[in-house]
Structures are given as structure tokens and as C-alpha cells.
Amino acid sequence: MASDKILVLTDSNFKETLEKTAVPIVIDFWAEWCGPCKMVAPSVEELAEELKGKIQFAKMDVDSNQQVPMQFAVRSIPTFAVFNKGNLCGKFTGAMAKDQLKKEIFRYLPESAQ
């Protein structure tokens, strides 16, 4: 469920990826069996294309990677975590339309990052 515009994160590459990503990063915590995760996936793909160069999108499968989701108290999916300069700015849960997803992401970022 990832494309060339969306990074695939794991417990082992999470910290390094956050440290080397120059732009804000939005992580989609998901699972293959999750219906709402599949529903929101096209919106995530579209936003990754639309915001390319401004925001990096990434996905982390919570079934294959449990350490990082536990660290950030991911209790339901999809959960989106917004990081800027390696710091967690905020997180939100649930499938939503593309425009609402974009609005939620921007809520946690300074205008300079938008």
C-alpha cells in the first residue's frame, strides 16, 4: 500500500528516517486488514503527489512493526502522526476525505512548512 512517493517505515529505520528527512513527515499507521485504512489510502497517495517536496508521507504497518506504534500510543488505525524536524507535532485518527486529511495535517504544522 505504498508508492514511490510514500516511504515505508519499520521499527528499525524509523529514527534514522525522521532524522534525515528535511521536510515535515506524516506517518500513516495502518494494517492490511483495516478497511478504513484502505479507504483513506487513495487520499494519502494524492496528497503525497500534491505536496511533494513540502511534506513527506510514510506508512508503517502496525502488524509488522509494534515498537514505534507502542511508543506513540497508537491504539486504533488509521492513525496519522505529524512530525516536523524530528519532533511529534500531533496525531489524529480515522479515515477521512482528502480535504479533511490535508486540513488536519496542516493544523499541526507552522505556515512556513505548508
Catalytic residue numbers read 34, 37
What is the distance between the alpha carbons of residues 86 and 32, in angstroms, rounded to a whole number? 27
If one counts every other C-beta atom within 10 angstroms of the C-beta of residue 77, the result is 23
Sign of CA dihedral 75, 64, 88, 78: negative
